[in-house]
Structure 1
Amino acid sequence: MSKAYSMDLRERVVKAVTQEGMSRRQAAVRFGVGPSTAIRWIERFEETGSVSPDQIGGHKPRTIRDDHADWLRQRCREKPFTLRGLVAELASERGLKVDYRSVWRFVHDEKLSHKKRR
């Protein structure tokens, strides 16, 4: 994952535009950043009064939770299933769009999977 530009650089770009009268594109060339980056920094400064970056990364809550999780637990205990089948059932019956990996992680974490034995 990329790292945010330093606050010093952000402040110098904003200062060049707001106090020295440079255009946003000229400031971008002068400080070696992309024009769209300089434009966004100036917009952020005008809106919030700060050039500090937003949070990068963080926790993303799982899609399968609450009522959907309860339904999926019950469904897995009722009859045999395939993960792709569960993805399709969640989409058609519950209106929840999830991918194969999300369903696999949920089933694995809940220890709902079983091996077929002959």
Structure 2
Amino acid sequence: MTAPLSNDLRERVVGAIEAGESCRSAAARFGVAVSSAVKWHQRYRGTGSVAPGKMGGHRKRVLEPHRAFIIERINQTPHLTLHGLKDELAARGIKVSHDTVWKFLRREGLRFKKSTVCP
């Protein structure tokens, strides 16, 4: 992801538009996309600032509050499958995909290992 352009550039573009220049000509003069000039001007009119909004962020880990339950279930039933664990979580009202369960288990260092001895 690229970094936002400087506030100085944003202010000069918006200043030109506020002075009566069109968005297209201001964008061409400062070497930015027309859509950027339009959005910066809209942000300025709406908030009074041309500063960029927050970018990115972190998502909450859905299964973190249920860590104790998951570890307890794996210790109680070592042959529990990912889909089985997902179904048990769904019965408790936690709707997640099996991929989410898998990623949680990998992060925690827990694994579903099959026996190395084949019958």
Report if the CA contact (8 A) 1:7-1:51 is conserved: yes
Name the residue aligned to 2:10. Answer: 10
Aligned with 2:111 (options 100, 107, 113):
113
TM-score (norm 2): 0.73
Secondary structure in 1 matching 2:35: helix
Paired with 2:75 and 2:33, the residues of 1 have a C-alpha distance of 54
Q: Which runs of 5+ in 1 are unaligned?
A: none
Report if the CA contact (8 A) 2:4-2:52 is conserved: yes
Secondary structure in 1 matching 2:64: coil
Residues 21 and 99 (structure 1), Cα distance of their counterparts in 2 relative to 1, 3 Å cut: farther
TM-score (norm 1): 0.73
Percent identity for Structure 1 against Structure 2: 38
Q: Which runs of 5+ in 2 are unaligned?
A: none
Deviation by residue 1:49-83 (Cα, 9 ceiling, x = unmatched):
111112223333212232x4444334433432333
**Which amino acid counterpart does residue 87 of structure 2 have in structure 1?**
E
Deviation by residue 1:25-66 (Cα, 9 ceiling, x = unmatched):
222222222222111111111111111112223333212232
Report if the CA contact (8 A) 2:63-2:104 is conserved: yes
Let me know the Cα RMSD of the aligned residues: 2.6
Structure 1 residue 21, shift from structure 2 partner: 0.4
Aligned length: 114
**Bigger radius of gyration among the two:** 2
Paired with 1:108 and 1:48, the residues of 2 have a C-alpha distance of 44
Residues 113 and 3 (structure 1), Cα distance of their counterparts in 2 relative to 1, 3 Å cut: same
Paired with 1:91 and 1:29, the residues of 2 have a C-alpha distance of 55
Report if the CA contact (8 A) 1:41-1:51 is conserved: yes
Residues 74 and 50 (structure 1), Cα distance of their counterparts in 2 relative to 1, 3 Å cut: same
